Copies of this chain bind each other. A is one copy, B any other.
């Protein structure tokens, strides 16, 4: 890593500064091929979600509410025809990326890492005409910083009521933008501090539009932190680890060591996963199991007397809605997930639409689904027991659901997911946009890539 620091200052540097040093020092040439490949996969996955989500009413409302206060048309809004200034674009794109609950997940921390980072980075890179390799390096820097801060907050943070994709995400955006803007170590240290003191997002918002707002604000706040720091706007030196620092205020059981463990050489991005289903991650094992049993036994809804699910604690805590009324609520109903798994054999955006949630057949089958917590089951596990009206019993235990680290989505599946999500907004341009994303590491500039995502 390029560094002008003397050994003594290295020894003295705190965690915030070490993270800043890592972020601004990261070079594309240092990245192992597997990390570059995973970065591309993350971009394909996330930006498909952003293009699809760009047409969601919550993004319409943000553009209508804040557009009149916005600046010059500097950046593309994925999936939309308008352009916006970079800060509004970061906000709107962040919301768009997350509103379908179809983005990526870092299972160890429950962070959805790419949304805050890419939503800030893409408009900035478009405006600066950054190269694809610079973009990839900045993206990786952002994800690595974000996931390490998420680890340091530990599960207590989420349990206390924080939405970690908002709270940790802003650091990813700040680090990535600092890297793309070639900030020095001091400025990036300040950017992380400015991010720390704007970090927010409550789980109490789940089920409302404000859940996705967290990702938008993380992207916008992280970008503006880097912009402010670039002008010499100061913050604290030890914003994360210091007395009354971020990790101590926002977690009752922080782990400061996790902030800087294995920087370089151990890549959090390689522990990222992509959703096959357009709903809360904790629904996936049950949905996966229902599809599998449907295929194996040719099950139809009319055959089924009951579906008994055994699931992880968080599945019921986060997705325990037995009678969802909208598509958004359906994404947080493991009961609806099981129903469409059996009826439709799928779990894409179509199966979590308002119409599909309100349909007679899903409503009827949902009422025959029960779910209970099994403390023995992990988050990517489920036990599905289906009893038919004829009294037959079919049982499946899902060990690692599709989309988990152990059963990752293939490149082909990610491409298909992108095309399905992007078709509506991009039409015939969707395959060209996909190719441009696949070729990102060698792209001369990101401006052309970004513009291909306009609706």
Q: Which residues of A contact B (CB under 8 A)?
A: 58, 61-62, 64-66, 68-72, 74, 85-88, 160-163, 166, 193-194, 196-205, 207-210, 213-214, 217, 224, 227-228, 230-236, 238-239, 242-246, 248-249
Contact = CB atoms under 8 A, between A and B. Distances in A.
B235 A205 contact: yes
B71 A242 contact: no
28 contacts: A61-B232, A65-B227, A65-B231, A65-B233, A66-B87, A66-B224, A66-B228, A69-B71, A69-B72, A70-B71, A70-B85, A161-B245, A197-B200, A197-B201, A197-B202, A197-B213, A198-B200, A200-B200, A202-B246, A204-B238, A204-B242, A204-B245, A205-B235, A205-B236, A207-B236, A208-B234, A210-B234, A213-B228
A80 to B, nearest CB: 16
B161 A249 contact: yes
Contacts of A242: 204
Contacts of A70: 71, 85
B65 A230 contact: yes
Contact of A162 (B69, B163, B249): B249
A64 B204 contact: no
> Quick one: copies of this chain in the complex?
2
Contacts of A69: 71-72, 74, 85-88, 227
A161 B244 contact: yes
A60 to B, nearest CB: 8
Contacts of A233: 58, 61-62, 65, 209-210, 213
A217 B199 CA distance: 11
A124 to B, nearest CB: 10
Given A209-B235, A233-B62, A249-B162, A217 B198 contact: yes
B74 A71 contact: no
A200 B69 CA distance: 23
A88 B68 CA distance: 12
A282 to B, nearest CB: 17
B202 A161 contact: no
B161 A248 contact: yes
B249 A236 contact: no
A248 to B, nearest CB: 7
A246 B204 CA distance: 8
Contacts of A162: 249
Nearest to A88: B69
Given A208-B193, A210-B236, A249 B65 contact: no
